[in-house]
Amino acid sequence: MTPPREAAAGIRIERVAVGPERVEAQVRLGPGMPLRTSAAPGLADAVLSALPGIVRHRCWCGSARGVVAELADTEVPHLLEHAALEIMVVAGSPRSLEGRTSWDFAADGVGVFRVELEYDDDLVALAALAEAATAIDDLVAGTVDGIDIDSVSERVRAHRRR
């Protein structure tokens, strides 16, 4: 699999650990990448437009506002988590898979997050994470107006072994 493209100001996937049930990625936001989705007008809406199934996600962040309102003002890697999970669903993974985004800025520095994704196929999860990162980078940079989910899902599905 080709490693994810890293834009100068984008989402950088620095390290990935593949366990028996989930992948955990260390994600760093590059200089200029907003920390929160609300600092990138239209970002969450563009992701939700391309991946409307996100509205069905359960979010364990504790927000009573619901996932759509949560993603409108949350950490960009949290949006990355939900986008990757939904790309996995579109590529044939079960909707029951879950994710988690966490951080410890005191230990790791501001802008460093851990994104975990359960998987049914580890290569699908890794491809979905890379595709979601590229899509969010491009949306923030303004190089695209939306996500071509048909092309994205086709590329991710090509990695499926199970």
CA distance 88 to 74: 21
Backbone angles phi, psi at 57, to 5 degrees: -70, 145
Task: Name the band, by pLDDT with cuts 50, 70 and 90, for residue 32.
Answer: confident
Angstrom distance (rounded) from CA 82 to CA 98: 9
Q: Which sequence spans correspond to the domains of the chain?
A: 11-157
Query: At residue 100, what is the residue type?
Result: R
Whether 62 shows a pLDDT value over 60: the answer reads no
Strand order in the sheet with 22-29: 11-18, 22-29, 112-118, 99-102
The β-bridge relationship of strands 99-102 and 22-29 is unpaired
pTM: 0.90
